[in-house]
Structure 1
Amino acid sequence: MLFIDGAIGPATSDYITHGLERAAAGHAAIVVIQMDTPGGLDSAMREIIQAILRSPVPVVTYVSPSGSRAASAGTYILYASHIAAMTPGTNLGAATPVQIGGGSPFSAPPGETEKGKEAAPRSEGASEAKARNDAIAYIRSLAELRGRNADWAEAAVRTAASLSANAAREQNVIDVVARDRADLLAQVDGRTVTAAGREVRLATRDLTLVDAPPNWRTRFLSAITDPNIALILMMIGIYGLMFEFMNPGALYPGTIGAICLLTGFYAFAALPVNYAGVALILLGIGLMAAEAFSPSFGILGIGGVVAFMLGGTILIDTDVPQFQLSWPAIGAVAVASLAITVVFARLAFTSQRRKIVSGREQLIGATGTVLDWSNGRGHVFVHGERWQAASNHDIAPDAAVQVANLDGLTLDVTPVEAAPAPFSEQSKET
């Protein structure tokens, strides 16, 4: 027994598809899908329907428990199943496609009309009419395949019609109204269905249903395909790699960032993503980063936040609430990104002001002791090392000198008394 509980997305389609494949490999007598869904993504719905249609094992979709629904995408899955069943107190329908930004996800209508009144007609664009007609043709084909009420199926798409369990049985929309699992198995016993091109007579009266709940893989996929989680993973990945590039060899930021970034990309690949939203998010990150290194009195930072929030708003191309980015998540990630940018800027400015402690530049200004000297040349001891040195000054052995310049491996030194005073001390003297 498989379960669809909640919005239908990539994780659901993966779970149902693999569940049907395992049932076929194990020569199961039937597969029961217990369903309670408000709708979901069109792509995920079609993958589930395709898996049902090619399954050699008869599929019984059962809307249960009481109070559940098979709205929108759930109605299509119910029509595609070999046996459609419902518990008293459940309903199905409202299968009108909702189109946002070129996509055609399926979800329950956002508003409800008063009882007994039809929704006021509204103008329909060419793309919306195209999506609606495609949905009507699709659900009618499923109804005709299973010998169910095709006219009501069309009404469910065209006018968002809905039915209770008993009304659906009376109008030949479903096959069975069952109180519980035992009643369901008793009622479908002896029925003949066509599965994968062959007729199968169901013998279910003495069957025992074995639950196959979602495993860790499905739960993990369900978690990362939450757009809010996917966005956070992508941001952690981007900033992890940025920190690794700024501090080569840190390893932890780069490793964690790469894993999070790839996981976020995988999640977005499974979701209906608007690439204009992705471009705006990347632009926003770039502008906030530019603000850190190119002072612009805040215009780049503010523009980056605005671009980021606009990109997050249109990133997911669907009207299904469960697969939309929430404003709190977008705002939190934008504020966190701006804060991280400020931190990076502070670190960059601090490192620029910090005294150099290694390399060629570190020798300039360093002091040492003369080891030997003759005719303007000799050797000095600086930083625990013996260096060749030259100078235009007369210097005695054991004198303290300061490095003024470096020519290859030869230091240009001056006596400490003759070395130029720091700028701050010069300004005090003047």
Structure 2
Amino acid sequence: MRYFLLSVLLGVLMPVFTFAEEESKEKIVYEINVNREIDNTSRLYLSEGLKKASALHADAVLLHLNTYGGLLDAADSMRTAILYSPIPVYAFIDNNAASAGALISIACKKIYMRKGANIGAATVVNQTGAALPDKYQSYMRSLIRSTAEAQGRDTIIQGNDTVYKWKRDPRIAEAMVDDRIIVPNLVDSGKVLTLTANEAVKWGYCDGIAESTDQVITEYLGYKDYKVITYEPSWYENLKGFLMNPVLQGILIMLIIGGIYFEMQSPGLGFPSVVAIAAAVLYFAPLYLDGFAEHWEILIFVAGLVLLAIEIFVIPGFGVTGIAGILCILAGLTLSLVNNHNFDFQPVSTKDFTRALMTVVCGIAAGFLFMLWLSSRIGERGLLRKVALKADLSKSVSMAYDLSRIVGEEGEAATVLRPSGKIFIHGELYDGVSESGFIERGEKIRVIRFENSQFYVERV
């Protein structure tokens, strides 16, 4: 009986001791600072920060925000990561959470703001600040509305009635995007909504006003004994984010295409090949490490290069092989920019695919324009005037020597003729065109005529 009573007593007291131990345990708050434009670098900061917070078994993640917005696709990835984070993520808006920053804030479990801070103005705009067509606004309205709805509703009992009230009214979130949305007593038609800290508290888009992260943690999260660990990005993460900038990706595509083009214009492997290979490595490496580029997408790009090389150096003319090579290069560059999983493209939206395709197409177009510009600069007055051929060769050629006298002479192919190439006649090197199919290097040839400064030959 004594042992029975002791067991019952331990069973009653054990939860009390466990609860007291948990209360006395030091809380870990992992802080991630996003005080910059929302782009792929910011997305990497959040992604890596959440991973490190999880490894440390943090009790909470505090997102310290001060941003005027940025790229929509990066903001979408960030808000998804926040919504599905197993660790609660809280936002502390230190002055600004505009545009993409508003979307990210609304995804957090709680929002706290400094006095004088603002949240809203989430209309999708272009680089000049002009609003994009309604197709883009429609997607953003749906995105920010569903983010607000994800915070759930409160159940309010009023007498015999049950009322469900959104914790964050989706209509208010939508008004931050569309100036046609009317919220009574808050915003009229024709105005995009931006909330001050006090207004955000009143309308449920701020859970408290604080002047520091310490005040957020102690006053609102209720942690007395806590430790703040701040995420510090490494140089590698900064470099990877920089290389994934859409503008730089377009430049790398331009260098890849330009390197391939100029390599096609010169024999052997030289500087253009080095530029194209280096640009391809810088383009694919961060995408592969970040999980965007799959093995098979990179192989498609390499296969395109191989097909293009076969078309240039093996098969005469330009036909199916060359077209297939160009399509493979285009497909490899484009598919590496979309976040598909193996051959599953269901998570990829039409907007994401269009953005990836436009990045590649614009990069290729810029590459061709760059090649035309660079070609025009090669010459006596161009940037490459020191390496351009400027000599007047006509002065060094003896007009008395009649090349037509070589017709009927025999020699050998100095290079493979398919059908053009180089030939040796009496120890001198000339341009030759085969009229009897491909002629391998070293085969005997006979000159049958001389036209347009070229010898036309046949196999002996």
TM-score, normalized by length of structure 1? 0.55
Q: Show the counterpart of 1:401.
A: none
Cα shift readout 1:196-231 (whole Å, capped 9, x = no counterpart): xxxxxxxx2221211112222331133223344333
Q: What are the residue-to-residue correspondences of 1:18-417 with 2, within 5 Å?
A: 18-64=48-94, 68-98=95-125, 110=130, 127=135, 130-131=138-139, 133-135=141-143, 137-144=145-152, 147-159=167-179, 160-190=192-222, 204-245=223-264, 246-250=266-270, 253-264=272-283, 269=337, 273=355, 275=357, 278-279=360-361, 282=364, 285-286=367-368, 301=372, 335-336=373-374, 338-339=376-377, 359=414, 361=423, 364=426, 408=444
2:69/2:98 contact within 8 Å kept = yes
How many residues align structurally? 290
Relative to structure 1, the CA distance from residue 287 to residue 229 in structure 2 (aligned partners, 3 Å threshold; closer, same or farther) is closer
Shift of residue 344, structure 1, vs aligned partner: 9.0
Q: Which amino acid aligns with 2:195?
A: L
Q: Distance in 2 between matches of 1:2 and 1:182?
A: 14
Relative to structure 1, the CA distance from residue 336 to residue 169 in structure 2 (aligned partners, 3 Å threshold; closer, same or farther) is farther
Relative to structure 1, the CA distance from residue 351 to residue 21 in structure 2 (aligned partners, 3 Å threshold; closer, same or farther) is farther
Relative to structure 1, the CA distance from residue 187 to residue 134 in structure 2 (aligned partners, 3 Å threshold; closer, same or farther) is same
- Give the match's secondary structure for 1:210: strand
Shift of residue 28, structure 1, vs aligned partner: 0.7
2:197/2:209 contact within 8 Å kept = yes
Cα shift readout 1:129-157 (whole Å, capped 9, x = no counterpart): 63355245324413536823444323223
Q: Which amino acid aligns with 1:158?
A: D
Q: Which amino acid aligns with 1:93?
A: G
Q: Distance in 2 between matches of 1:217 and 1:407?
A: 55
1:241/1:258 contact within 8 Å kept = no
Q: Which amino acid aligns with 2:106?
A: Y
Q: Distance in 2 between matches of 1:214 and 1:407?
A: 63
Relative to structure 1, the CA distance from residue 128 to residue 244 in structure 2 (aligned partners, 3 Å threshold; closer, same or farther) is closer
Q: Which amino acid aligns with 1:364?
A: H
Q: Which amino acid aligns with 2:102?
A: T
Q: Distance in 2 between matches of 1:337 and 1:3?
A: 46
Relative to structure 1, the CA distance from residue 96 to residue 142 in structure 2 (aligned partners, 3 Å threshold; closer, same or farther) is farther
Q: Which amino acid aligns with 1:209?
A: V
Relative to structure 1, the CA distance from residue 338 to residue 59 in structure 2 (aligned partners, 3 Å threshold; closer, same or farther) is farther
Q: Distance in 1 between matches of 2:128 and 2:150?
A: 20
Q: Distance in 2 between matches of 1:76 and 1:281?
A: 29
Q: Distance in 1 between matches of 2:375 and 2:32?
A: 41
TM-score, normalized by length of structure 2? 0.52
Cα shift readout 1:218-252 (whole Å, capped 9, x = no counterpart): 311332233443333333333334444524243x5
Q: Which amino acid aligns with 1:232?
A: I
Q: Percent identity?
A: 24
Q: Distance in 1 between matches of 2:175 and 2:120?
A: 9
Q: Distance in 2 between matches of 1:11 and 1:163?
A: 27
- Give the match's secondary structure for 2:62: strand
1:148/1:174 contact within 8 Å kept = no
Q: Show the counterpart of 2:46.
A: 16
Relative to structure 1, the CA distance from residue 223 to residue 352 in structure 2 (aligned partners, 3 Å threshold; closer, same or farther) is farther
Relative to structure 1, the CA distance from residue 407 to residue 247 in structure 2 (aligned partners, 3 Å threshold; closer, same or farther) is closer
Relative to structure 1, the CA distance from residue 249 to residue 28 in structure 2 (aligned partners, 3 Å threshold; closer, same or farther) is same
Give the number of the structure whose alpha-carbon radius of gyration is greater.
1
Q: Which amino acid aligns with 2:236?
A: R
- Give the match's secondary structure for 2:228: coil
Q: Distance in 1 between matches of 2:230 and 2:389?
A: 60
Q: Distance in 2 between matches of 1:51 and 1:263?
A: 26
Q: Show the counterpart of 1:2.
A: 32
Q: Distance in 1 between matches of 2:228 and 2:83?
A: 21
Q: Distance in 2 between matches of 1:181 and 1:284?
A: 46
CA RMSD of aligned residues (A): 4.3
Q: Distance in 1 between matches of 2:75 and 2:48?
A: 14
Cα shift readout 1:311-335 (whole Å, capped 9, x = no counterpart): xxxxxxxxxxxxxxxxxxxxxxxx4
Q: Which amino acid aligns with 1:74?
A: G
Q: Which amino acid aligns with 1:260?
A: A
Shift of residue 285, structure 1, vs aligned partner: 4.7
- Structure 1: runs of 5 or more not aligned: 101-106, 112-123, 191-203, 290-300, 302-334, 367-405, 411-430
Shift of residue 273, structure 1, vs aligned partner: 3.2
